[in-house]
Amino acid sequence: MSDTVSPAVRTAELWKIFEQEAEEVQAVRGVNLTVERGEFTVLAGPSGSGKTTLLNLIGGLTPPTSGRIWVAGRDLSEMSKVELAELRLAQVGFVFQAYNLLPVLTAMENAEFPLLLRGVDEAERRTRVRELFERTGLTGLENRRPGKLSGGQQQRVAVVRAVVGRPALVLADEPTANLDSTTSEALLDMMLELNRDLGTTFVFATHDARVMDHSRRIVRLVDGSITADEVR
């Protein structure tokens, strides 16, 4: 199947087993999932259901125990570490639960980092970041380092960093967990606009009802397995 018509994400019999204190933990169990391009999809489930692990597998951050993953038609199992890094830089944006901001960089520098790696010139980088900072209530915080930002502010910087490069696919792990309802709505509106105008595919791991209300598809996970797949 050519890249132009392939799904954004496809997994086949995907398993991830961790060894913890000499015990096997089946975090993802035989998951078969297809996410078409342009979807706005939630992976929902309680803590420990496998949502974060599945996101990390799709993003190529964690290798599967068995099974296969395709992103934009490319089989991750056939790609080198360098090729995986290039795919993530060019096509995938991440919002991590722990933010993963670089402590020595300012909010502006953290947000523009993917564009810097792509070789985008400084004026363009700053213009894009400032526009998104304005939309997410971060104006005036450009020069603060993460240690001087609240958890919610760090989370917003992480979301801007994930979307500023206009990736084809955004993987977001609990992107609204530390945000009030007004800020959550602003972020979700921004992501819906990117989804609508640019065709960006979004896959969220969340149990936030506000995110689910905006999503057109909810894939429910329990103990690492898909138990329901609801399309609205």
In the chain, the amino acid numbered 120 is V
For residue 71, the cross-strand partners are 9, 74
Tell me how crowded residue 117 is: count the other CB atoms within 10 A of its CB.
12
Using one digit for the tens of pLDDT, what is the confidence trace for 159-200?
A: 999 999 999 999 999 998 878 888 888 889 889 999 999 899
pLDDT at 78 over 90: yes
pLDDT of residue 183: 86
What is the residue extent of each domain of the chain? Answer: 9-231
Using one digit for the tens of pLDDT, what is the confidence trace for 102-119?
A: 999 999 999 999 999 999
Tell me how crowded residue 137 is: count the other CB atoms within 10 A of its CB.
16
Fold entry, domain 9-231: Rossmann fold (3.40.50)
Residues 6+ apart with CB under 8 A from 116: 125
Report the distance separating Cα 202 and Cα 162, nearest Å. 11
Q: What is the mean pLDDT of the chain?
A: 93
Average pLDDT, stretch 63-91? 94
Whole-prediction pTM: 0.92
